[in-house]
Amino acid sequence: MAAPLRLTLMGATGRMGRALIEGILDAPDLELAGALTRSDDPLLGVDAGSFVGRAVLGVEFGVDIAAAVAACDVVVDFSRPAATLAVVEACRARNRAIVVGTTGFDSAQAERLAAAARSIALCQAANFSIGVNVCLGLLALATPALGPTYDVEIVEAHHRHKVDAPSGTALAMGRAVAAAAGTTLEAAAVYGRQGNTGERPAGKIGFAAVRGGDVVGDHTVMFLGDGERVEISHRASSRTTFAGGALRAARWLARQPAGRYDMRDVLGLK
């Protein structure tokens, strides 16, 4: 029997971290090798197994990035952009693959990720749900079929603790629509409206973000035409779907050469 794939988690004490730890413990082919968190986290030093109500693992939440990366085969990161970039540099130093689920990168940070992918295997996705990635494929089909007379609006809702808006998934959906329409999100996006905005310009992609409660993640892309409306929606009821997709990506990425990949590569949708 092959040795388990050793994984280190960054952002291990967060909501996704908890789901990932549980997913790893339930998978006989995976092993939790490291669990990283921020230096001011009150859970620092707590055993990861105890954190999820399981047996003690001997893997404590820590801040030693170099040691945790050295101990694993693949890093899975759901944290903040600055923390992700620090882990990516450690992965480059140790030639480790990394799955990046962090969102909210600015253009300079995104360029650093792209540069890192020239020397290590890096899989980045705004959303690791299989259903969301199928929706992205449907958007690529629907946009040219419906044509430019249909106005596009994207509405997303998340829990009150989410810090970035629009969500990374909403932006990915916007990019899928823009690419299928022959433009870019930078040229087409409208982020919120207030006051006397005038009539809606043609060809724009509108975004609206809702924050509140414990909503895991709802996304709807509306194609609004004269006399009809087409909606492509995805609603997540549990983070286990994201964790399962991220772990599937880690298994796949461990066998890949250096390069930049996304969830469509993992699922064979390209």
Cite the active site residues.
158, 162
Contact 223, 151 (CB under 8 A): yes
Whole-number Cα distances in Å, 40 to 37, 63, 82: 8, 10, 15
CA 220 and chain centroid, separation: 17
Half-sphere exposure of 88 (CA within 13 A, CB side): 29
What is the full DSSP assignment across 23-85? HHHT-TTEEEEEEE--TT-TTTT-BHHHHTTS---S-BEE--HHHHHHT-SEEEE-S-HHHHH
- The sign of the dihedral angle between the CA atoms of 22, 27, 30, 33 is positive
Burial of 107 (0-12, 13-18, 19+ CB in 10 A): exposed
